[in-house]
Structure formats: C-alpha cells, structure tokens
Amino acid sequence: MPLRIDKIDRAIIRALKTDARMAYSQIAEQLEVSPGMIRQRVQRLVDDGALQLVAVTNPLKTGYHTMALIGVKADGHRLQEIARQIAAFEEVIYLTICSATYNLLVEVACLDNADLLKFLTEKLYSVEGVREAETFIYLDIVKEIYTWAPPAPEDRNSKDAEED
C-alpha cells in the first residue's frame, strides 16, 4: 500500500528541498506545529523509504571525467540476478530494470575513457547473461534534479478533471 503523504509532509519535503540542513524547529515555526512533530514525520518518511537525506556529489567535479548510460540486453530468465551483479560494481551509480529495447539501463561514472573501456571489457561483459550493450557517453549534463516532490492528490485530480 502506498504511503499517505499529507500537506504537512509535502511542506516538510519542500522545506528540506530548499535547505536539507534546515533545523526542524525552523520548519515547525513555518508550519505552526511542534518541532517534535517535524522530527517524527521526517523519521517516518525516511523509515518508509519516501525520503532520503543525502549529500549529492557531482562526479564530473571530483575527478571522474567520463559518465555514460549503458543499455544492456540480458538473458530474461536471470534478469534480476544479472542486475544485482552489475549493480555491485563500484562504477555503477544507477541501475534500472526496464521494459524496452534494453533490459537494463546502467549509469556509470569512470575516471576517463580508458577506465570506461576497462569497466566494459573486464567487468560488464564478464557477467554471464549479458548479451549486448550500447554505451552512450555523456558530453554534457543539461538537467539533473533531485528535488522532485509528490504532488497533492487534489492537484492531480483537478488536473485530470481539466483534461477530461
């Protein structure tokens, strides 16, 4: 069952998106509730997997000059096992199983092109069940966000009603 997120939860998420280090007492003051309520709500959102409070790094600014998205075709009967094996490689920063031309989309951060080639030849292609891969090297990252917040159900319903 999906987690119920009310308007207070959404307001907390918005505040933390603005400044993830904002004191709970400051959020509580803005929302006119107690700091304890904010602390409990944040903990519930974290425990339920709806919210993560993490430091986000930019690989391109920390010595990793080559990033790529790799579309992987893999044996369907071992898809989850193959995905777990690939996800364990340190270069992999994102991996999803999908229903498309490729079974897996794998995002990697590598030191340089030589490091990417080493990853492909010595690691990715060594995974039993990887049949084919196509590598898309990033030339520029135009948009990258970590600030998506769930819209209020009433906002979604009113939008759906307008489209009808």
| pLDDT-based confidence at residue 161 (cuts at 50, 70, 90) | very low
Is the domain spanning 59-137 CATH 3.30.70.920? The answer is yes
Separation of alpha carbons 31 and 149, rounded Å = 17
Strand positions, DSSP E, the chain? 66-74, 92-97, 104-110, 130-137
pLDDT at position 157, please? 54
pLDDT at position 9, please? 93
CATH 3.30.70.920 domain range(s) in the chain:
59-137
pLDDT at position 136, please? 98
Better-predicted residue by pLDDT, 153 or 56 = 56
pLDDT for 57 beyond 70:
yes
Is the domain spanning 1-55 CATH 1.10.3720.10? The answer is no
